[in-house]
A and B are shown apart, each in its own frame.
Chain A
Amino acid sequence: MKHAAGRAPMEERIRELFATMLQVSPDAVDDETHPASLARWDSMQHLILVSGFEEEFGVDVDPEEAIDMYKDFATFKEIMLQKLEGRS
Chain B
Amino acid sequence: MPKSVFRGVRISGVAGAVPKYRVDNLTDHAFVPAEDRKKIVDLTKVAGYRKTPPGMCASDLCQAAAEALLSGLGRRPDDIDAIVFATMTPDYRVPSTACLLQDRLHCQTSVVAYDINMGCSGFVVGLYNACALIQGGALKRVLLLAGDTQTKLCYDQDKNVVFILGDGGTATLVEADPGAGEIVIELMTDGSRFQNLYVPAGGFRRPSTEATREVRQQPDGAMRSDDHLYMNGMEIFKFSVTDVVKSIAGFMDQQQLSPETIDLLFLHQANWFMNDKIAKKLKFPSDKVPYTIAFYGNTGSASIPLTIAHHFSGQGSRENARCLMSGFGVGLSWGIVSTVLSGIYSPPIVEIA
Where the two chains meet, the residues of A that have a C-beta atom closer than 8 Å to any C-beta of B are 39, 42-44, 46-48, 51-52, 63-64, 66-67, 70
Contact = CB atoms under 8 A, between A and B. Distances in A.
Given A43-B160, A44-B160, A51-B42, A63 B234 contact: no
A58 B222 CA distance: 32
What does DSSP make chain A's interface, helix, strand, loop or mixed?
A: helix
A34 B39 CA distance: 21
A63 B159 contact: no
A42 B221 contact: yes
B159 A67 contact: no
Contacts of A47: 43, 233, 237, 273
B238 interface: yes
B239 to A, nearest CB: 10
Nearest to A46: B234
Nearest to B235: A43
A83 B80 CA distance: 57
B249 to A, nearest CB: 13
Contacts of A64: 241-242
The interface centre, meaning the residue of A47, A48, A64 with most chain B CB atoms within 10 A of its CB, is A47
A22 B234 CA distance: 17
Contacts of A42: 160, 220-222, 233
A70 B238 CA distance: 11
Contacts of B75: none
A51 B271 CA distance: 13
14 contacts: A42-B233, A43-B232, A43-B237, A44-B40, A44-B233, A46-B234, A47-B43, A47-B233, A47-B237, A51-B43, A63-B241, A67-B234, A67-B237, A67-B238
Contact of B277 (A43, A52, A63): A63
Given A42-B160, A43-B160, A47-B237, 5 more contacts: A42-B220, A42-B221, A48-B42, A63-B281, A66-B277
Nearest to B240: A63
Contacts of B220: 42-43
A9 B220 CA distance: 33
Given A51-B43, A63-B281, A64-B242, A44 B237 contact: no
Nearest to B278: A63
Contacts of B273: 47, 51
B244 to A, nearest CB: 11
A48 B281 CA distance: 19
Contacts of B277: 63, 66
A48 B43 contact: yes
Nearest to B238: A67
Contacts of A46: 234
Interface in B215-230: 220-222
Contacts of A43: 160, 220, 232-234, 237
The interface centre, meaning the residue of A51, A63, A67 with most chain B CB atoms within 10 A of its CB, is A63
A63 B43 contact: no
A63 B270 CA distance: 15
Nearest to A42: B221
A35 B40 CA distance: 18
The interface centre, meaning the residue of A39, A52, A67 with most chain B CB atoms within 10 A of its CB, is A67
A51 B277 CA distance: 11
Nearest to B164: A44
B43 A70 contact: no
Nearest to B232: A43
A63 B277 CA distance: 7
